[in-house]
């Protein structure tokens, strides 16, 4: 657990340095209260992933599970609780403010479908260049259901909302989506969380993984900001992962 927190601290520091520079330059404003809330949620999320395997009795349904179903389920319960707390205690907050709505921004569905196809083709190309993957039925089911169900409501949902309150900046257009510094910061955390770790008293880092997962973090962010909803980010994330394993 201590090694996990070392990695989390490193991720946060690496993302905080450019944000601090932007704050000094006057490009962004920072709210300490919302920043602490963002850090608390991020830490709680990874603790849920870490502890879920032991807490959630997945073995009652899947004998000898090879994937972290328990961690994902506990993470889903976490974002549900955070969403309820925001509705209850954050004045004026609506679930749609964090993307929890089926309503899509008018004119956004067709571009999002094109983006979804492009994201899947990008994954197909990446897997093909790396020689393909081996898989089993459990792995395919896991990739088709869980990554989008827990990661997108956090990274493109409640965490994005909190960080957007913590790091305030003007928005700019990217292919019709309105990005802000907070969204890019969350995408960076998403990439670092997949590429930087500390275990066995050694730091492990994959620059290639950072580039790939960071890019997909930006792509999923684009879906979220272009449509105003988490529907396409969830569908895109699960589809990309499923196709990536199937090939």
pTM: 0.95
Residue 193's pLDDT is what? 93
pLDDT digits (tens, 9 = 90+) for 90-111: 999 999 999 999 999 999 999 9
- Phi, psi at 134, each rounded to 5°: -95, 150
pLDDT digits (tens, 9 = 90+) for 75-89: 999 999 999 999 999
What is the C-alpha separation between 166 and 25, in angstroms, rounded? Answer: 17
Average pLDDT of the residues in 119-133: 88
**pLDDT band at residue 237 under the 50/70/90 scheme:** very high
pLDDT digits (tens, 9 = 90+) for 168-219: 999 999 999 999 999 999 999 999 999 999 888 899 999 999 999 999 999 9
Does pLDDT of 4 surpass 90? Answer: no
Question: CB-based contacts of 123: which residues, under 8 Å, 6+ apart?
Answer: 240, 243, 244
What is the C-alpha separation between 13 and 20, in angstroms, rounded? Answer: 10
Does pLDDT of 134 surpass 90? Answer: no
Number of structural domains the chain divides into: 1
Q: Residue 99 belongs to what domain range? A: 2-246
Tell me the pLDDT of the chain averaged across its residues: 95
Distances in whole angstroms, Cα of residue 178 to Cα of each of 55, 182, 240: 39, 12, 23
Does pLDDT of 133 surpass 80? Answer: no
How many other CB atoms sit within 10 Å of the CB of residue 153? 25
Residue 131's pLDDT is what? 78
Residue 132's pLDDT is what? 73
């Amino acid at each position: 657990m201590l090694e996990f927190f070392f990695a989390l601290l490193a991720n946060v520091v690496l993302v905080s340095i450019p944000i601090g520079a932007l704050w000094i330059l006057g490009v962004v404003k920072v709210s300490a209260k919302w920043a602490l809330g963002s850090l608390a949620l991020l830490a709680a999320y990874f603790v849920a992933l870490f502890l879920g395997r032991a807490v959630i009795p997945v073995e009652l349904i899947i004998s000898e599970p090879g994937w972290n179903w328990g961690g994902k389920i506990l993470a889903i319960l976490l974002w549900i609780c955070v969403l309820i707390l925001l509705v209850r205690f954050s004045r004026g907050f609506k679930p749609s403010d964090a993307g929890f709505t089926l309503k899509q921004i008018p004119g956004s569905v067709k571009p999002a479908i094109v983006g979804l196809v492009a994201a899947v083709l990008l994954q197909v190309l990446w897997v093909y260049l790396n020689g393909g993957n081996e898989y089993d039925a459990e792995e395919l089911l896991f990739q088709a259901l869980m990554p989008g169900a827990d990661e997108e409501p956090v990274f493109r949902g409640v965490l994005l909302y909190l960080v957007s309150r913590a790091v305030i900046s003007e928005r700019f257009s990217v292919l019709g989506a309105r990005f802000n510094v907070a969204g890019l910061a969350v995408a960076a955390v998403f990439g670092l969380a997949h590429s930087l770790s500390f275990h066995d008293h050694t730091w492990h880092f994959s620059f290639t993984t950072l580039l790939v997962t960071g890019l997909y973090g930006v792509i999923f962010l684009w879906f979220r900001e272009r449509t105003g909803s988490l529907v396409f980010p969830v569908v895109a994330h699960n589809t990309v992962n499923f196709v990536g394993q199937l090939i």
